[in-house]
Amino acid sequence: MTVSSARVRALALSLPGAAEKEHHGFPSFRVAGRIFATLPDDGHLNVMLDEADIRTELEAHGDCCEAQHWGKRLAALRVDLSAADADRVRDWLTDAWNRRTNG
């Protein structure tokens, strides 16, 4: 069930208008200049969903993800790529991409 960082990159960059740019020393994926996901290391993916979606996904998929806070704000879904499947990762990336393009 492991999803490689190369697979994450391919999935993220397959979304229309997506681009990769360095963010604090690691890759980020952006659309229209706005970050929708980051790869802080080869084993994890941070996906920028809204708080309600993060909480929903934690309940449904707590076996492969956890909450990521920046300060006191719930900011992202942190995905353990060794426990995630590619279809779920693609769905999360697409949701985060949609949030940035439609929000």
**pLDDT tens for each residue of 4-44:** 999 999 999 999 999 999 999 999 999 999 999 999 999 99
What integer pLDDT is reported at residue 103 of this predicted model?
65
**Number of helices and strands in the chain (H, E):** 3, 6
pLDDT tens for each residue of 67-98: 999 899 999 999 999 999 999 999 999 999 99
Neighbour-count burial for 56-87, b at 16+ CB within 10 Å, e otherwise: ebeeebeebbeebeeeeebbbbbbebeebebe
pTM, full prediction: 0.94
